[in-house]
Structure 1
């Protein structure tokens, strides 16, 4: 079987982490580089990534996560925080970054800038929030795949109080909202879930070729 498929079959949503095993800083940086290289619509990256290692913060986040042990036992808790709304500044900042990195004049980027503004700025705030949250989920998927390639365990988590996360991490004041959480570490030998057969529909049931 292809190596990638081997790793995807190996991974599972880890329920119990071994708190005595720590993901190295080097491997964490590889994961974060992968997160930063993840594709996003227009390349705008309308989110920020928070990496929580501080034990006291993790205890508070666990309380806001319905007491799920992954939060405190995993090496790191990665919070993907989307921008629930935005204005032209987000696009202008992105254009400035393109100019800096690629050495392109602002005039040559004007058409691209206007395309983004006409497509995005008129959206209602609810739609902006959905769109930016969806972009954060692309990062989540990429992180999980790269972690599996490195045989690092993860657990994607939506079971948490977003308002409390925003308060604990000071996200609201920064114009951000906790979209989804990823616990990162190494599975505990006591986690029986790792031994469960993977349950998926057959490809014939969910894939249509046209």
Structure 2
């Protein structure tokens, strides 16, 4: 890939308002997009989130009224709810340490310093009130990764913050699992009827947004 290809994909991308409900993302392409979620960066690598892919049409119909009746929820090929951990436990940290040891073929004892760094921050009582906000920030990293990857593959996306998290949580039974919804993303293919597709992309000048010091 060259720089022109990258920038062309990002200029082509926009927050799709009208999806073609008859076009579906091929299974192999969707599998690759799921991998981009798994491969996203997160603080400590801990991945304090889950990605809920809502396949069930009836569930999507239940969610739509709680997203300002935005049709993207039901018309897009795929709809993902990004759910953040509401609390970080010692068990979460130990499961991650065990996973590192398994994948890299090292002992858990060799990771004691890393574990201590995580517990020192994440289990401190002062961190508890901010845990969900910290986890939400990690989920947003994954959202950006997904949207960029989708654009490179010619898949349209629409990030959605306009929804009622408490209602999404209730319908998807997230609190029982220790999570809360923080942002969503609809993915699929733009409809020819979406007037926004042809509008020029508007951004502030590069010189205004980027400062070299």
Superposition TM-score, scaled by structure 1 size: 0.98
- Could you tell me how far 1:53 is from its partner in structure 2? 1.6
Distance 2:185 2:129 in 1: 24
Distance 1:9 1:117 in 2: 42
- Could you tell me how far 1:100 is from its partner in structure 2? 1.1
Query: Is 1:144 aligned to residue 141 of structure 2?
Result: no
Query: Is 1:87 aligned to residue 89 of structure 2?
Result: yes
Superposition RMSD in Å = 0.9
- Could you tell me how far 1:179 is from its partner in structure 2? 1.0
The match for 1:53 among 52, 55, 61 is: 55
- Could you tell me how far 1:125 is from its partner in structure 2? 2.9
Q: Which residue of 2 aligns with 1:159?
A: 162
- Could you tell me how far 1:209 is from its partner in structure 2? 0.1
> Which secondary structure state, in structure 1, belongs to the residue aligned with residue 81 of structure 2?
strand
Q: How does 1:163-182 map to 2 (within 5 A)?
A: 163-182=166-185
State the 4+ residue runs in structure 1 displaced beyond 4 angstroms.
none
Q: Which residue of 2 aligns with 1:42?
A: 44
Counterpart contact for 2:85–2:135, Cα < 8 Å:
yes
Q: How does 1:1-210 map to 2 (within 5 A)?
A: 2-122=4-124, 123-210=126-213
Distance 1:126 1:25 in 2: 40
Distance 2:129 2:83 in 1: 16
- Could you tell me how far 1:124 is from its partner in structure 2? 3.4
> Which secondary structure state, in structure 1, belongs to the residue aligned with residue 149 of structure 2?
helix
- Which consecutive unaligned segments of at least 5 residues does structure 2 have? none
For residues 119-161 of structure 1, what are the alpha-carbon distances to aligned partners after superposition, in whole Å with 9 as ceiling and x for unaligned?
2211433311111000000000000000000000000000001
- Could you tell me how far 1:106 is from its partner in structure 2? 1.3
Superposition TM-score, scaled by structure 2 size: 0.96
> Which secondary structure state, in structure 1, belongs to the residue aligned with residue 67 of structure 2?
coil
> Which secondary structure state, in structure 2, belongs to the residue aligned with residue 2 of structure 1?
helix
